[in-house]
């Protein structure tokens, strides 16, 4: 059975043709033993559930506790495990080196661009405008 509702009723009967087992409006096939399909229209008797205000501080506190515990575990591993410490700081050094190389290349690129720019008013035509 084709459900009833404002959106579905906008389709023409050709949209439903070729689908075995469908019956009801807008098709010209009557439903004999089909159980009724509930309407897709939202009921207005339902009240939305709101989060009580007393729960909000607990959410922020639990997030803060989770952050502190996670950060503590990370720092603890860096302090206690020599292998983790070496790997972490080796990676940090590589990232900082890449950043410094990138900045150096950017500065050189800016200097090169300033040297190759033609000052305003300098035309390579060689003649004077009169």
Average pLDDT, the chain: 75
Give DSSP secondary structure letters for 84-111.
Answer: HHHHHHHHHHHHHHHHHHHHHHHHHHHH
Question: Would you give the end-to-end CA distance of the chain in angstroms?
Answer: 88
Cα separation, 107 vs 58, in Å, equals 50
**pTM of the predicted structure, to 2 decimals:** 0.38
Indicate whether 10 belongs to any domain: yes
Cα separation, 5 vs 24, in Å, equals 13
pLDDT digits (tens, 9 = 90+) for 26-84: 666 777 765 555 554 555 566 666 666 666 788 889 999 999 999 999 999 999 999 99
Indicate whether 33 belongs to any domain: yes
CB contact at 8 A, 5 and 40: yes
Indicate whether 44 belongs to any domain: no
Indicate whether 125 belongs to any domain: no
Please tell me the total count of domains within the chain. Answer: 2
């Amino acid at each position: 059975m084709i459900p009833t509702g404002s959106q579905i009723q906008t389709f023409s009967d050709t949209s439903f043709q070729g689908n075995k087992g469908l019956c009801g409006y807008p098709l010209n096939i009557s439903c004999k033993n089909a159980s009724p399909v509930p309407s897709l229209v939202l009921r207005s008797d339902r009240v939305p559930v709101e989060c009580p205000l007393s729960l909000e501080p607990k959410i922020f506190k639990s997030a803060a506790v989770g952050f502190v515990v996670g950060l503590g575990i990370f720092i603890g591993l860096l302090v206690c495990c020599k292998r983790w410490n070496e790997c972490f700081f080796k990676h940090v050094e590589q990232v900082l080196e890449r950043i410094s190389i990138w900045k150096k290349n950017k500065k050189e690129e800016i200097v090169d661009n300033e040297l190759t720019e033609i000052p305003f008013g300098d035309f390579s035509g060689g003649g004077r405008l009169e």
